[in-house]
Amino acid sequence: MSPGVSLAVYHLLSMQTQTLGHYLLPNLRSIRCDFYPWDLVPFLRLFLNPGLVDVNISFPGDGLHIYRPATISLIPTRGLTHLRLVSMDDDDELSMDALHNLLDEASETLRSVCLDGQQSTAVFEKLLQLPNLRCLDVRHPGAQISPSAVVSPSLEKLVFGYNEGGPWLHILQNAPSLQELVVIYSGSSPTYLQKLASSLSKDMRRTLISLKCSSGKEAPLTESGLRPFLSFGRLTTLELTTSCTGWRCGTQLNDSIISELAMALPRLASLTLGGMPCKASTSDVTVMGLVALSTNCVDLDFLQLHFNTKDIISRGTHANSQTHRFTCKLRTLSVGY
């Protein structure tokens, strides 16, 4: 199909504002299409009716991208609150234009947006300007945003892929209502946690209740990486995961820092430090650290922690049983190998 014909098809489909869904499925509120074949696109007009509030579409990964902007242009915006689009490409200008228009038309109603793939800077900045957005889940290549871009004042949950040089450190300074933060780190810097913590605003210490950071590569979890988060006393969930390679453990903690954490974050209900406990002798955490957690974090329900696998028992005999003033509520303990 030539570019001229493709463009004509796109404009033809984008003009079809009145879909069959108006009449066949007037009460449909949610639609999910997982990697559908492109020949299904014409049938989408059966389902995309004005009553939809939740749209979840996973686009195919092949090169027939002409139907992607046409599909996006068919999504109704009158009452749209939740939008998830998978396999987006920022080099697909027609799709980015269609998406930008959709965000503009649904700017007052959208509450949750998830874009799995790269988006253009214009689309990214538009997302940050949605006034009522509560949840944003995006992967951005790291392009800088203009100083005039406004971060949504209502944002409560943010999920993003992080690498050095990206715009996130600036964005995190302007999210006054953030309660949940999920970071997927793609680099290998041992200091990325310190940089991330320093970028979080002081106001966030009063709002953040869930923090999850994961690293796909080996970025050791150390005391210096953990300590900056001890000032976030409202946290109920803390997950700092890293990879272990071979017989080398990626978690380097001890009883002292675990005891400090237990006293600083007494509201914790779920705690994950490191990935799945590995085969190495692992970190220098013993029963003493576990006692501190069970004594201070009285609501702790889930624990995944690397601890010393060689002499945890002998060192743990010095734990003072008199410190147990409460019944430990722990129901799930992940010990790995």
What confidence score (pLDDT) does residue 180 get?
95
What confidence score (pLDDT) does residue 139 get?
73
| 300 within 8 A of 271, measured Cβ to Cβ | yes
Task: Give the number of other Cβ atoms within 10 Å of residue 160's Cβ.
Answer: 18
What's the full length of the chain, in residues? 337
Percent of the chain at pLDDT > 70 equals 74
What confidence score (pLDDT) does residue 94 get?
87
pLDDT band at 12 (very low <50, low <70, confident <90, very high): very low
Tell me the pLDDT tens digit for each residue of 278-330.
766 667 888 888 888 988 998 999 999 888 777 666 655 555 555 555 567 78
Please indicate whether residue 93 or residue 19 has the higher confidence score (pLDDT): 93
What confidence score (pLDDT) does residue 128 get?
86
What confidence score (pLDDT) does residue 235 get?
96
Residue 142 has pLDDT above 80, yes or no: no
Most confident option among 21-30, 36-45, 105-114: 105-114
Distances (CA, A) of 315 to 283, 320, 325, 328, 337: 14, 12, 21, 21, 21
Element holding 140 (H helix, E strand): none
Nearest to 283 by CA among 262, 257, 253: 253
As a whole number of angstroms, the distance between CA 96 and CA 100 comes to 6
The pLDDT of 125-136, averaged and rounded, is 90
Tell me the pLDDT tens digit for each residue of 63-100.
556 778 888 888 889 899 999 998 877 678 888 999 99
The pLDDT of 24-51, averaged and rounded, is 75
Tell me the pLDDT tens digit for each residue of 258-268.
999 999 999 99
Sequence-distant (6+) residues with CB within 8 A of 298 are 266, 326, 328, 329
Cβ-based burial of 248 (10 A; exposed 0-12, middle 13-18, buried ≥19) = exposed
What confidence score (pLDDT) does residue 10 get?
43
Give backbone dihedrals phi and psi of 4, rounded to 5 degrees, phi first: -65, -45
Structure tokens belonging to residue 331: 């129901």
Considering only 174-183, 245-254, 310-319, which range has the smallest mean pLDDT? Answer: 310-319
Residue 269 has pLDDT above 90, yes or no: yes
Outline where DSSP puts E strands in the chain.
30-34, 54-58, 82-88, 112-117, 135-138, 157-162, 180-185, 210-215, 221-222, 237-241, 251-252, 270-273, 302-305, 332-334
What confidence score (pLDDT) does residue 9 get?
42
pLDDT band at 15 (very low <50, low <70, confident <90, very high): very low
Please indicate whether residue 101 or residue 329 has the higher confidence score (pLDDT): 101
Residue 143 has pLDDT above 60, yes or no: no
Average pLDDT over the chain reads 79
What confidence score (pLDDT) does residue 175 get?
79
pLDDT band at 108 (very low <50, low <70, confident <90, very high): very high
What confidence score (pLDDT) does residue 218 get?
66
| 113 within 8 A of 102, measured Cβ to Cβ | no
| 141 within 8 A of 110, measured Cβ to Cβ | no
What confidence score (pLDDT) does residue 121 get?
82
| 110 within 8 A of 93, measured Cβ to Cβ | no
Residue 16 has pLDDT above 50, yes or no: no
Cα-Cα-Cα-Cα torsion 204, 207, 210, 215, nearest 10 degrees, comes to: -10
What confidence score (pLDDT) does residue 287 get?
83
